[in-house]
Structure 1
Amino acid sequence: MYDWVECECGHNFWTKKEKPQCSKCKQRFSAYNHIYTWSDHEKGKTIEVLENKIREQNQTMENLLTVLETYQFKTDEIIQEIRNSTK
């Protein structure tokens, strides 16, 4: 089980420790200061959702790259035609 700790210094972090310490200001927290809990199951689901979003973004980027490569090819053809017509 992970716990979400919100420190007064503004540094927020997930931890498994019973009495975590803020790495920024070194303040220690008791278990009662934990705001949220994040089970391993929830962590797995969250990671799965994020991985799916990354895959979708990668597919979108690949599609954009394909479109850009097509336009680059067409642009190169047009440039070649212009060069040939000016000779």
Structure 2
Amino acid sequence: MKYSFPAFVGLTAGALSATISGVLIAQALHLSDDIIASILLLSTFLCHNWYKKERRDVIWKKTRNFLNLKSGSLRWNKK
């Protein structure tokens, strides 16, 4: 089963923006570099697992069930 490039880019952009936000908040609160590094590692780990293991298949199935592509035209799935 192949996954679309735009979905991968969207998830990567979301993960990157969440990581940057976490680091900026940590810097604004004057937290130590160890805590900032922990935030980076934790967000990378969580985003990787979220996309790779569980949510990837769920997102793909929901998208495939929601949109039903037939004969080159976009039709809504009525299930």
TM over 0.5: no
TM-score by length of 1: 0.31
* Structure possessing the higher radius of gyration over alpha carbons: 1
The structure carrying a bigger helix percent of its residues is 2
